[in-house]
Structure 1
Amino acid sequence: MQNELVIKNGLVLLEDGEVRTDIGVKDGKINMIGNNLEGEQVIDASGLIVSPGMVDAHVHITDPGGGYRDEWEGYITGTAASAKGGVTSFMEMPLNQVPATVDEETLNIKYQAGENKLKVDVASFGGLVPFNLEGGIQELDAGGVAGYKCFLGSCGDPLITGDFQNVDDYSLYEGMRQIAKTGKVLAIHSENAPITDKLGEIAVANGETSMEEYVATRPAFTEVEAICKAILMAKVTGCRLHIVHVACKEGVEEVIKAREEGVDVTCETCVHYLYFATEELNAIGPVAKCSPPIREQKQQDALWEHVQAGNISFVTSDHSPCTPDLKDTEDAFEAWGGIAGLQNDVDILFDEAVQKRGMPLKQFVQMIASKPADLYNLDQKGRISVGKDADFVLIKPNSSYTLKAEDLEYRNKISPYIGREIGAQVYKTILRGQTIYSKGTGVTAEFPGEFIKK
Structure 2
Amino acid sequence: MGEIYDLIVKKGTVVLPGDVVQADVAVRDGKIAAIAADLDAGLAAGTIDADGHLVMAGVIDVHVHFNEPNFGHWEGFATGSAALAAGGCTAYAEMPLNGNPPTVDEDALREKERLAAGHSAVDYAFWGGLVPWNLDRLQELANAGVVGFKAFMSNPGGAGEGRFREVDAATLRAGMERIAALGGLLALHAESDELTFRLAARARAEGRTGARDFADSRPVEAELAAVAEALALAEETGCRLHFVHISSPEAVRLIADARRRGLDVSLETCPHYLTLTVDDMARLGPVAKCAPPLRDAARREGLWASVLEGEVDLIASDHSPCPEEMKAAPGLTFFDAWGGIAGAQNTLELMLEEGWVKRGMSLPALSALLSANPARTFGFYPRKGEIAVGFDADLAIVAQARPRALTRSELRHRHPHSPYIGRHLSCKVVATLCRGITVYTEKEGVVAPAAGRRWRAGAGLAEG
Tell me if TM exceeds 0.5.
yes
Determine if contact 2:78/2:449 at 8 Å carries over to the other structure. no
- 1:215 matched residue in structure 2: 215
Among candidates 421, 425, 441, match of residue 422 of structure 1: 425
**Within 5 Å, which residues of 2 pair with 1:315-354?**
315-329=315-329, 331-354=333-356
- 2:45 matched residue in structure 1: 40
What's the CA shift string for 1:172-216, capped at 9, x where partnerless? 111111111222221100000121012111111111221111101
1:388 aligns with 2:412: no
Determine if contact 1:156/1:166 at 8 Å carries over to the other structure. no
**Within 5 Å, which residues of 2 pair with 1:3-402?**
3-37=5-39, 38-65=43-70, 69-134=71-136, 136-157=137-158, 160-329=160-329, 331-379=333-381, 380-402=383-405
**Matched residue type, 2:187:** A
What CA distance in whole angstroms lies between the structure 2 residues aligned with 1:98 and 1:113? 13
**Matched residue type, 2:221:** F
Change (3 A) 1:144 1:305: same
What CA distance in whole angstroms lies between the structure 2 residues aligned with 1:3 and 1:211? 55
Range with greater deviation from structure 2 (260-269 or 33-42): 33-42
Determine if contact 1:271/1:316 at 8 Å carries over to the other structure. yes
- 2:460 matched residue in structure 1: none
**Matched residue type, 1:428:** A
Count of aligned pairs = 449
Determine if contact 2:195/2:222 at 8 Å carries over to the other structure. yes
What CA distance in whole angstroms lies between the structure 2 residues aligned with 1:109 and 1:162? 15
Superposed CA RMSD in Å reads: 1.2
What's the CA shift string for 1:342-368, capped at 9, x where partnerless? 000111111110011000111011011
Q: Give the Å deviation of 1:427.
A: 1.0
1:439 aligns with 2:442: yes
Q: Give the Å deviation of 1:336.
A: 0.5
What CA distance in whole angstroms lies between the structure 1 residues aligned with 2:227 and 2:401? 38
Range with greater deviation from structure 2 (19-28 or 395-404): 395-404
How many percent identity over aligned positions? 40
Among candidates 407, 414, 418, match of residue 411 of structure 1: 414
SS of the residue corresponding to residue 127 of structure 2 reads strand
What CA distance in whole angstroms lies between the structure 1 residues aligned with 2:72 and 2:388? 40
**Matched residue type, 1:410:** H
What CA distance in whole angstroms lies between the structure 1 residues aligned with 2:409 and 2:362? 33
Q: Give the Å deviation of 1:331.
A: 1.6
Structure 1 segments (4+ residues) deviating >3 Å = none
What CA distance in whole angstroms lies between the structure 1 residues aligned with 2:93 and 2:449? 21
What CA distance in whole angstroms lies between the structure 1 residues aligned with 2:111 and 2:193? 30
What CA distance in whole angstroms lies between the structure 2 residues aligned with 1:223 and 1:416? 23
Q: Give the Å deviation of 1:445.
A: 4.8
**Matched residue type, 1:451:** R
Q: Give the Å deviation of 1:446.
A: 3.3
TM-score under structure 2 normalisation? 0.95
Structure 2's unaligned 5+ residue stretches are 458-464
SS of the residue corresponding to residue 381 of structure 1 reads coil
What CA distance in whole angstroms lies between the structure 2 residues aligned with 1:18 and 1:97? 41
SS of the residue corresponding to residue 214 of structure 1 reads helix
What CA distance in whole angstroms lies between the structure 1 residues aligned with 2:304 and 2:26? 36
What CA distance in whole angstroms lies between the structure 2 residues aligned with 1:126 and 1:57? 13
What CA distance in whole angstroms lies between the structure 2 residues aligned with 1:349 and 1:437? 20
Determine if contact 1:122/1:450 at 8 Å carries over to the other structure. yes
Q: Give the Å deviation of 1:156.
A: 4.0
**Matched residue type, 2:297:** Q
What's the CA shift string for 1:248-302, capped at 9, x where partnerless? 1110010011011111111111000001111232111010000000011111010
Determine if contact 2:191/2:226 at 8 Å carries over to the other structure. yes
